């Protein structure tokens, strides 16, 4: 079956770990502009939903998923098996330390920073190839502010950002109810050539 970005949330094994929701994942992947041979790093990979889709898009390349929580690491591995993805390496650890032996990348996702956002961004800059894309998803004011300020201060990056708020419509008998997902901000930084 053909792969289209935006695998339905309920297809992923997820436990109690928060997951990037389908509509958000589609836009985050869209901003990353992943090509088949790309090297991708997903920092704070959570359930791995984004890593899995990145791996399906970078099918001639490789995805490194960094996750600090053992349940997350296990979930990513199980999701990789479920979706038949074999170009995904899960690294159990904390960034930036866990970034040590990873090759230079075309795309870096930052979904969680464990309070080390500034160091991670500095290290990401080193790791990112020319024309590479760094996509930060922010669900806190701190990540939004620091992500914007650190990246906008670097002349070698072009930065754009937006927030999105999704309202799911749930049909219950003859009514269609409005149900909010949490808002999220997406900061995309493209490294100049």
Positions in the binding site for its own copies (CB under 8 A): 2, 4-6, 23, 26-27, 30, 33, 35, 115, 139-145, 148, 152, 159-169, 171, 174-185
Give 6 or 15: the residue with its C-beta nearer to its own copies.
6
Shortest Cβ 2–its own copies spacing (Å): 7
Give 113 or 124: the residue with its C-beta nearer to its own copies.
113
Shortest Cβ 37–its own copies spacing (Å): 12
Shortest Cβ 113–its own copies spacing (Å): 10
Structure tokens at 193: 């050539």
Shortest Cβ 166–its own copies spacing (Å): 5
Bridge partner list, 138: 185
Instruction: Please say whether the beta carbons of 78 and 13 come within 8 A.
Output: yes
Give 6 or 93: the residue with its C-beta nearer to its own copies.
6
How many angstroms separate the CA atoms of 96 and 69, rounded? 15
Structure tokens at 69: 């929580």
109: CB partners within 8 A, 6+ apart: 28, 32, 40, 41, 42, 43, 50, 54, 135, 136, 137
60: CB partners within 8 A, 6+ apart: 36, 37
Give 91 or 159: the residue with its C-beta nearer to its own copies.
159
SS3 22: helix
Give 101 or 179: the residue with its C-beta nearer to its own copies.
179
Shortest Cβ 78–its own copies spacing (Å): 25
């Amino acid at each position: 079956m053909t792969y289209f970005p935006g695998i339905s949330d309920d297809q992923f094994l997820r436990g109690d770990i928060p997951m990037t929701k389908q509509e958000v994942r589609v836009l985050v992947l869209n901003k990353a502009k992943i090509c088949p041979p790309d090297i991708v790093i997903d920092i704070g990979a959570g359930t791995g939903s984004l890593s899995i889709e990145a791996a399906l898009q970078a099918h001639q390349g490789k995805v490194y998923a960094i996750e600090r929580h053992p349940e997350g690491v296990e979930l990513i591995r199980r999701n990789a098996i479920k979706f038949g993805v074999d170009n995904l390496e899960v690294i159990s650890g904390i960034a930036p330390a866990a970034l040590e032996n990873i090759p230079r990348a075309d795309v870096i996702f930052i979904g969680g920073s464990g309070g080390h956002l500034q160091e991670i961004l500095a290290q990401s800059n080193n790791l990112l190839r020319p024309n590479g894309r760094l996509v930060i998803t922010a669900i806190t004011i701190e990540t939004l502010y620091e992500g914007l300020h650190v990246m906008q201060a670097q002349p070698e990056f072009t930065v754009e950002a937006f927030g999105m708020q999704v309202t799911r419509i749930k049909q219950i008998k003859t009514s269609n109810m409005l149900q909010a997902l949490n808002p999220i901000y997406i900061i995309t930084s493209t490294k100049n050539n």
